[in-house]
Every structure is written in structure tokens, then in C-alpha cells.
Amino acid sequence: MTSDEAGFLGVERSITGRRWRGPDPAQQRLTDAMAQQTRLPHAVCAVLARSGVAPDAAERYLAPSLRDLLPDPRSLRDMEAAAARLLSAVDGNEKIAIFADYDVDGGASAALLICWLRSMGREATLYIPDRIAEGYGPNAPAMKMLAQAHDLILCVDCGTVSHDPIAAAKGADVVVIDHHLGAETLPPALAVVNPNRQDETGDLGYLCAAGVVFLMLVEANRQLRVRGNTGPDLMALLDLVALATVADVAPLVGVNRAFVRQGLRVMAARNRVGLRALADVARLEAAPTSYHLGFVLGPRVNAGGRIGAADLGARLLACNDPSEAEALAERLEMLNAERREVEAAVRAEAIAQAQARGGDGALAWAAGEGWHPGVIGIAAARLKEAMAQPAMVIALDGNEGKGSGRSVPGIDLGAAVQKLVREGFLLKGGGHPMAAGLTVARARIEEAMARLAELLAQQGAVGAGAASQLRIDSVLMPAAVSVDLIERIEAAGPFGASAPAPRFAFPDMRIQSIRRMGETHLRLRFGDGQGNVLDAVAFGAYESDLGSAIANAQGQRLHLAGKVEINHWSGRSNVQLRLDDAAHPAR
């Protein structure tokens, strides 16, 4: 839709100040054609058309098969050598260490290897660096120490740019399994398996580290079969891959869709002791969805690496003792509550600072003294949402600042940060398209952020004021919303990065009732005037402009926009609208 076209349903400025943007004419034509050819509900066809799915491919897309979508592991460089070295370590009963990042992706990657090795009758040493004391990735003292007591070190979700630390691991072989952007030269490792190496095609660059680790285990099992042996059950490990894929904000495209879809089925069986304990302390009553992976389970696994013991999350994911898992889950639940308090303070200061700086540039950024390094990534994500543009939040300590950034679709933040390192603006930095980290001298923060904004603008990033649009996929009416429809819509998922959950507009609805729910939420019921009604919930809206407008709208008519979902509560399942926005109909 061009800027001179009318807003969807005529909404040029909603209650939250956004212009509604509907599907373009080509997408509408594809939706109509698909509905005619497939007999699928129009709402489902709208979601498929948004993803560019052709009518004759709709059935396959709705049932993604891991068998059909799984790439050949050997398409990645060093894959055969990495898997062969792992197997030789197993055969020789060698001592194996796993050096992992402290986030969900690193923890899940480590747990994948630990569980696979355990199935092969082998144990491994887990090492996860302290976020504050050691920082991200391998460091020379830790690698030297591990090399003295181990024959093989597997660096997962890190290591691609760790030249000196890997060189320090004398006497041990090092295999790197990563997905972060690589530099022009590789570290002196036996193998570096990374779809984002400079000499890779980039076709699998959307994988998180756990996805790459899973492919290596596929290759290891293949090599076992050639020898006449049977490897561990890899399908049972897909819950870990799904958790990491969603929590690391990896694009839900290609094989990632199958990873998450199948992984959610595995997780629903509640066979993994650690995840079962974590779901219980989080009071997760229903079968998990991608939302729960990203916003319920993921943050709790991350909590240890952010403000507690760095290895708690990985230990929980790999745990096979119910009592130990329960204790670890309770500890992570407490740390997550503490993390929320710390993060809320940093988030508020960062947003206020960025807004005071203005949103004309292509980057929202903030820096603060004493901000906890463990929460700046989450604060950056919230700042990105608030400003609708790439964001960087920097924790200042002494003469340096450690920053964490989050990007928006289509803008490669990791590449821009790496360019800043090469240009000398940063002490170090790296990442992937949607997230990046950096270390910068305090005296150079202003010029480094100005240069970063320039690089992001060259990629097409815009100022905060240019992004005030709300994307609507289609129109729905209350009578059409059912559990069956929502399940069919969810089959077009999973939804997350690069595949946002579809948003539907309910035009000209009469607000029948409104009530406050908890401290900050609103629940309302609306109808079409013909006896068809639907419940809606507006989370955190009570003190917002949206909440204020809705609270006084009983008996009035409004256009409503949001995501339809199944609400599971006290053993019952009901459909509802998760309200994102509302607008007054044109008269």
C-alpha cells in the first residue's frame, strides 16, 4: 500500500495513533483464488497468501514435514569432519567439554549434545562463562583450562570469531558449531560449522545454533548407520531445537517451521524432565505454543545467565532427575521474577532517554551507568518495540560500555556491528541479523552510535515516526471465530520472527461490556448487532490511551484489531480476541 492510499477500513489514525494497513491487491487476489481452489476458510487463505504460498502448495505448507524440509547437513562446510571427530571421541572414550553461550540457544545447544552423548553412554563437562566476569564467548583462560583436562572442546553458539581463545586451547581439538556472523578469517579450530561463515552460501543462515547442532547430530547418526550402528533418537530432541529457535528470534521459515511444529508436539508429551518442571512452576496449563516458548519458558531459562548462575538453564534442559529439575526450575523462577524488576527499571530509563534524544535517526539507543548487563538485551527488545526501529542499550562500567541490540525485519544489525569493529569504532562486537552485542570505549559511544545509525539507514532503517502503521491481514466477524478456525490458522504457523501472528480487524463492533481484570488489564465483550458476540482482552492497557478509550466506550461502536486465540483457563477452552488497537468508524 502506497502512502497516498486510504487506511484499511478508512483508519488513518487509530486510538493508539497508528494507520491501519491492509493486504495489497495482489495478496487479496491470491487469497480469493486460494479460497476458491482449496475451500479453506478465507482467514486461513489470507495468512497463506501473506507468506506467498501458492494454492497448489497450501496443503504441504499447512503440514510441514521435517523429512521434506531438512537440508543435507553436508551442505555446510566442515560438517563431516565435525561429526567424525565427535564420533571418534565417543569411540575412544575421550574427555569432552562443551563451551556454550549463556542464553537459551547456547543452553539448548549444550543440552542437545549432553543428551545425545548420554544416549551413547558418554558424559561431557559443561562450561558456560559468567556474563559479567567473562563476557560472551570463549576466553583464553577458560579454554586453556579446559584443554588441559579434555581431548575435545565443542564450542556451541559462540567461537566463530574467537581466534586467540581457541589458539590457547593447546593439546585439545576444538570444534565450533555456531550461527553468528563470521569474519574474513576463521579461528584455528579443527572444524567451524556455521551457515554464516563468509564462505557459505547463506542459504541456511536463518538457523539458530541449536538448529546447526541438530544437523551435526543428524550427520553423526548417518555416519553411525554407515558403520552398521543405530544412533540416538533425534526426534525426541526437537523440543530443545524448537525452544532455541523461537527464543533466539530465528526466522520461522524453511526447516525452522518444521523444527518448531514438531518440537511443540514433542514438548506437549512432557517427557523432558527439565521442561516439565519449568512449565509447572510457570503454571503453564495448556499444550505449549510458540508464544509460550518465546515469552514464558524462554525468559525463565535465560534468567540464570542474566542475573544468576550462568549454567542453570543448560543444566535444567539436560537434567534427567525430577528432584533436581524441580529445584532448578524453582531457582530460575525466582531469578526471573528478580530479572523482571531489574529490567523494568532499565527499560523505563532507556525508553525515556531514547525518546528525549528523538526518533529522527535510524537507531534508537540509550546508555546508563550501573545498568545490569544481564537485562540490556531485553531492554533493547522493548526499546525496539516502543520506537519501532533497531535499538541498542549500553551498560556503562568504568571506561567501557557493553551493549546489546535488537533489530527489525530486513535490517541486518549484526553485519553493521561487525563493520563498526572493522572501522575501529568498537572494541569488539558481533551477532546475527536480528540481534548483536558490542563493547565500546565510553569516550566513543556517541560517534559509534551515530555511525551505526548511518549504516542501518543505508540498509533502509527509518526514523521512529515513519513506522506508525498496524498491519491487518483480513477482516473477521464474531460468528466466524471458533476453536476450529483458530486451530486452522495456527496450522499456517508457527508464528514469530519473520512470520508474525496474523492480525484481524472486526469492523463496526458494538462494545457490550467492559471490566477491569487484575491491575492493568481490560476484558470486554463486543458484538455485531445480530446476536453474535466475542470476548476480548487488552493486556496492560488499563492506563494506556487504548484502555482509556475502551473504558468509556460501552454501548459505542468501534473497529477492533488483534489476534484471535484460544484461552485455556481452569480446564475450559474459549475463543477470544487479544486486542492490539481500536479506531472510531468514519461517519
What is the rounded CA–CA span in Å between residue 259 and residue 210? 10
| pLDDT of 4 | 47
What is the identity of the amino acid at 435?
A
| pLDDT of 552 | 84
What is the rounded CA–CA span in Å between residue 29 and residue 33? 6
| pLDDT of 156 | 98
| pLDDT of 264 | 96
| ∠ CA 209-215-221, rounded to 5° | 140
Give the dihedral sign, CA 413/415/419/422. positive
Work out the number of other CB atoms within 10 angstroms of the CB of residue 275. Answer: 25
| pLDDT of 467 | 47
Eight-class DSSP state of 464: G
State the residue for C-alpha cell 466477524: 477
| pLDDT of 3 | 44
CB 152 within 8 A of CB 173: yes
Going from the first residue of the chain to its last (587 residues), give the mean pLDDT of each consecutive group of 10, the final group possibly shorter. 70 91 94 95 96 93 93 98 98 98 96 98 96 90 98 97 97 97 94 97 96 98 97 97 95 95 96 97 90 94 87 96 97 94 94 87 94 93 90 96 92 94 94 91 96 94 69 96 94 88 96 88 93 92 82 92 87 88 89
| Direct distance between the N- and C-terminal alpha carbons of the chain, in angstroms, rounded to an integer | 23
What is the rounded CA–CA span in Å between residue 179 and residue 7? 40
The HSE-up count of residue 52 (CA atoms within 13 Å, CB side) is 3
CB 90 within 8 A of CB 223: no
Q: Give the DSSP H/E element, type plus range, for residue 12.
A: none
Which residues does 390 contact at the CB level (< 8 Å), separation at least 6? Answer: 362, 363, 364, 384, 405, 406, 407, 408, 411, 413, 456, 461
What is the rounded CA–CA span in Å between residue 134 and residue 137? 8
What pTM, to 2 d.p., does this model score? Answer: 0.87
| pLDDT of 464 | 61
DSSP strand E in 422-503: where? 428-432, 435-441, 469-471, 474-475
SS3 573: strand
Length, in residues, of the chain: 587
State the residue for C-alpha cell 541438530: 214
State the residue for C-alpha cell 519458558: 297
State the residue for C-alpha cell 579434555: 150
| Nearest residue to 99 (alpha-carbon basis) of 141, 65, 64 | 141
| pLDDT of 466 | 52
List the grid coordinates of 362.
Answer: 535510524
Q: Which residues pair with 561 in a beta bridge?
A: 505, 581
The HSE-up count of residue 154 (CA atoms within 13 Å, CB side) is 34
| pLDDT of 354 | 93
| pLDDT of 465 | 54
